[in-house]
Structure 1
Amino acid sequence: MKNFVDVDEKLPILKTIPLSFQHLFAMVGATILVPMLTELDPAIALFCSGIGTLIYILCTKAMLPAYIGSSFAFIGAMAVATSNYGTKGMLSGIIAAGVVYVIVAALIKYAGSSWLDKALPPVLIGAVVIVIGLSLARTAADWAGLIPQIAADGSTLPTDYRVLAVATITLAVGIIGSMYFKGFLGIIPILIAMVVGYIAAFIFGIVPEEAIKEIIEADIIRIPTFTTPEFNFSAMIMMAPIAFVTLAEHIGHVYVTNNVCGRDFTKEPGLHRSILGDGLATIFAGLVGGPPNTTYGENIGVMAITRVYSVWVVGGAGIIATVLSFIGPVAMVIKNIPKPVMGGISILLFGIIASSGFRVFVENKIDFGKKKNLIVASVVIVLGISGAVLSFDVNGAPVDINGVALATLVGIILNLVLPEKSKTEEE
């Protein structure tokens, strides 16, 4: 007798709702952190996460249980694009990244995926993931109160130990939860750490009275902040290449889901349908003002623990996320999460992202005695975290490529151009 719930099984609603909340809790901490880092409305991220999941389920013919949430890979590029071209211009870059997904899905359907493996080898993906994590490190330290603040007269302000204490408590809970929590609690240490950090912020008195008032007086129903995009070629060029990084992450999640569920989803409904769903979810987010989306590994962990693989449960989580995005008090609580709380958890989260790049190297047994691997990784990491910018004009309009986008493009070119062995290695 089987002891799991299969992909296409429909459960009674009283069982579906709690399981759907488990999926939602597993990703909500990371999903709402992305818009807060990029000055978007956290409620719109929750809305795009829910609708994006439903779009994904439709594209995969309700056969692949995966939840869609905000992607960390785009944070650096989103911040730069917003600063240079405004939020509306940045959103056009998100749409461009989604279009890349759609194009790749079409190519995989008709030409297979072997070409993608050649363009994005593990050494390149690992290096770019390291760049994503390290490029965000200063932001995390700043929010945690560890970067000296400069006063108007040029002097250095003393450290605010209340801020440092809240960040430390949040970080400590995140570390303890990751190491010692079991079962479902072990899947949601980020959410638990943020809740504990929020409580600590209240105790230390660093939550402004205006924020408390905003939470208490919030309307029960609140419409998320929808924003329409404006075409900006520079933002599109900056953000589109990052889609190749999240594509590799997406494909990895599909293969892990294969192992967990005991099915080959690359054949039915097909890898191209999965990528198409992710791409359309990202395009939708760009059209309404949300962050780009990606599949979440946390929810694969929930399925592995509960042994419930039902698409109905995942779809229920999408519906709940959409509804919660319109609940005013929930939106205000999320909006007013103190920066020390985000700083504390970001030290752990961004570090984990960077360490995931090294994990890619280890799991794929990358040989750095091989000069091609050494060169690709070295150039990508330096270009990605140095602040290097490539600027040029297109019909009189300035276009900038920097950060993760520049590192990814150069890495792809180097990987395709360089021979597998240097002349010395051939000898």
Structure 2
Amino acid sequence: MSTKEEKVLLDVEDVPSMGKWLPLSLQHLFAMFGATILVPYLVGLSPAVALISSGLGTIAFLLITRGQVPAYLGSSFAFIAPIIAAQTVDGPGAAMVGSFLAGLAYGVVALIIKMAGYKWVLRILPPVVVGPVIIVIGLGLASVAVGMAMYENPGAPAGELVYSSKHLIVALVTLAITIVSAIFFRGFFGLIPILVGIVGGYLFASFMGLVDLTGIAQAPWIAAPDFLIPFVSYTPTISWEIFLLMVPVAIVTISEHIGHQMVLGNVVGRDYVKKPGLHVSILGDGVATMIAALIGGPPNTTYGENIGVLAITRVYSIFVIAGAAVIAICFGFIGKITALISSVPTPVMGGVSILLFGIIASSGLRMLVDGKIDFGQKRNLIISSVILVIGIGGAFIHIGDKFELHGMALAAILGIILNLVLPGKDQNGENIDELDKDSAA
């Protein structure tokens, strides 16, 4: 049942009163804040730029969808491992080039969907392929989360890592606060367990003597963040290695986008797959990712956290979403806030990441369950097994000096190929026509 049948407080086109506009927009900002700043923290990009790029990307999305889709876009977790890998190839600039190419891939897919419809996307990306790939995203990052939780210097070579019981205690307390928030808190605070965990962990880390406030005191109130501008900060170059590291990840995020649009449509009571059309919303997502790449932010994606805010508040106004985007942009230029984010100790982020990366993996399992995947069927068992071992094991194809395809991208491509060539394709999961009916419900 759509929440549209309940009393809608503000519909998509409604403008809130000035007294309600700010607090309603702040709700959406807080819902996305913890996850959005965690991604750049993990990959070595500027959290301030991530906030700005999420705000700009959201505004671009709202304009491209002609104000019909109340969605907020934040940093994508699917690109964490590829960004780290791309940075080892040729620095942060290479990761930005790869992100831009991934955004272009969205545009290509949007164009094909406009001409050929969207059902082909669902056929090559059924739950039996996408579910295991999402599991790979979460479990592939498990060692990153545990390393941040256990070591004083998690970025050091394996032989130089320094174990710290103090760091582990802080990480476990942060994890506990996050779990309690997710399970027992209700309403608005139940929607922001990651942010609650970071704040609680930060306070405990301060008590343990791990927080340095010097940078906050010295930071100016207004400051330009560390943008990465092509031809200014770096000279962009395109290589097959970067292309194959970043672009195949769009397979996963586009599938995630389709799912979000269907859920959002059910919440708001509109069929966004048909109007403004899946090709329009995918294009908006791609443009947001390209904008982020041009200023040094991580790729963007629609956020389920903010869809949850819409469902609970029954406030669907795009003006509220746009207000959150504007506030995020403003926050990015406040030096004190940037310094505050930078002062968060590594074990705090490690504790939060343990849960968050686990939830990502579990969401892949949920997709397999919701898709009614029968692992008694050999083809389903084979497809999932190959994706999981190739992705988590870090397998790669290396031809010559420039061509390399590995990890999640290789796993996703092999999964798609197996799904297309193995017999019994109609047993993979949900019927496409049923999905079409559900999206119009």
Residue 93 of structure 1 contacts residue 236 of structure 1 at CA under 8 Å; is this kept in 2?
Answer: yes
Matched, 1:365 2:369: no
Deviation at 1:374, TM superposition (A): 0.8
Match of 1:383 among 357, 382, 390: 390
Matches of 2:148 and 2:182 in 1, distance apart?
A: 21
Residue 419 of structure 2 contacts residue 425 of structure 2 at CA under 8 Å; is this kept in 1?
Answer: no
Residue 135 of structure 2 contacts residue 365 of structure 2 at CA under 8 Å; is this kept in 1?
Answer: yes
Match of 2:207 among 184, 203, 207: 203
Residue 90 of structure 1 contacts residue 232 of structure 1 at CA under 8 Å; is this kept in 2?
Answer: no
SS at 1:377 equivalent = helix
Q: 1:403 to 1:151 in 2, by over 3 A?
A: closer
Q: 1:407 to 1:21 in 2, by over 3 A?
A: same
Deviation at 1:150, TM superposition (A): 12
Matches of 1:346 and 1:277 in 2, distance apart?
A: 28
SS at 1:66 equivalent = coil
SS at 1:294 equivalent = strand
Match of 2:147 among 142, 146, 158: 142
Percent identity of equivalent pairs: 51
1:77-96 maps to which residues of 2 (within 5 A)?
77-96=82-101
SS at 1:74 equivalent = helix
Match of 1:355 among 342, 356, 362: 362
Matched, 1:301 2:302: no
Paired position in structure 2 for 1:228: 229
Structure 1 portions without partners, runs of 5+:
423-427
* Letter paired with 1:382: V
Matches of 2:203 and 2:157 in 1, distance apart?
A: 32
Matched, 1:194 2:195: no
Match of 2:322 among 304, 315, 331: 315
Matched, 1:56 2:67: no
Paired position in structure 2 for 1:253: 260
Paired position in structure 2 for 1:215: 216
Matched, 1:399 2:403: yes
Matches of 1:146 and 1:351 in 2, distance apart?
A: 20
SS at 1:400 equivalent = strand
Residue 74 of structure 1 contacts residue 239 of structure 1 at CA under 8 Å; is this kept in 2?
Answer: yes
Matches of 1:271 and 1:153 in 2, distance apart?
A: 45
Residue 89 of structure 1 contacts residue 231 of structure 1 at CA under 8 Å; is this kept in 2?
Answer: yes
Matches of 1:202 and 1:135 in 2, distance apart?
A: 30
When the two structures are superposed, what TM-score results if normalisation uses the length of structure 1? 0.94
Deviation at 1:369, TM superposition (A): 1.0
Deviation at 1:84, TM superposition (A): 1.9
Deviation at 1:232, TM superposition (A): 2.8
Residue 141 of structure 1 contacts residue 147 of structure 1 at CA under 8 Å; is this kept in 2?
Answer: no
Q: 1:398 to 1:168 in 2, by over 3 A?
A: same
Residue 222 of structure 1 contacts residue 328 of structure 1 at CA under 8 Å; is this kept in 2?
Answer: yes
Paired position in structure 1 for 2:124: 119
Deviation at 1:156, TM superposition (A): 8.0
Paired position in structure 2 for 1:68: 73
* Letter paired with 2:227: F
Paired position in structure 1 for 2:9: 4
Matches of 1:164 and 1:260 in 2, distance apart?
A: 40
SS at 2:150 equivalent = coil
Paired position in structure 1 for 2:341: 334
Paired position in structure 2 for 1:244: 251
Matches of 1:382 and 1:140 in 2, distance apart?
A: 20
Residue 151 of structure 2 contacts residue 164 of structure 2 at CA under 8 Å; is this kept in 1?
Answer: no
SS at 1:206 equivalent = coil
* Letter paired with 2:237: F
Give the alignment's Cα RMSD to 1 decimal: 2.0
Matched, 1:417 2:421: yes
Matches of 2:274 and 2:425 in 1, distance apart?
A: 35
User: More displaced, 256-265 or 50-59?
Assistant: 256-265
Alignment length, in residue pairs? 415
Matches of 1:148 and 1:39 in 2, distance apart?
A: 14
Matches of 1:217 and 1:153 in 2, distance apart?
A: 34
SS at 1:222 equivalent = coil
- Cα shift readout 1:363-401 (whole Å, capped 9, x = no counterpart): 1110111111111111011110112111123xxx51221
Q: 1:337 to 1:155 in 2, by over 3 A?
A: closer
Residue 370 of structure 1 contacts residue 421 of structure 1 at CA under 8 Å; is this kept in 2?
Answer: no
Matches of 2:249 and 2:67 in 1, distance apart?
A: 27
User: More displaced, 336-345 or 409-418?
Assistant: 409-418
When the two structures are superposed, what TM-score results if normalisation uses the length of structure 2? 0.91
Deviation at 1:205, TM superposition (A): 0.4
Structure 2 portions without partners, runs of 5+:
1-5, 231-235, 427-441
SS at 1:144 equivalent = helix
* Letter paired with 1:143: M
Paired position in structure 2 for 1:279: 286
- Cα shift readout 1:267-312 (whole Å, capped 9, x = no counterpart): 2211111111000000111111110010000001101111100000
* Letter paired with 2:219: A
Residue 85 of structure 2 contacts residue 245 of structure 2 at CA under 8 Å; is this kept in 1?
Answer: no
* Letter paired with 2:99: I
Post-superposition, which runs of at least 4 consecutive aligned residues in structure 1 deviate over 3 A? 146-157
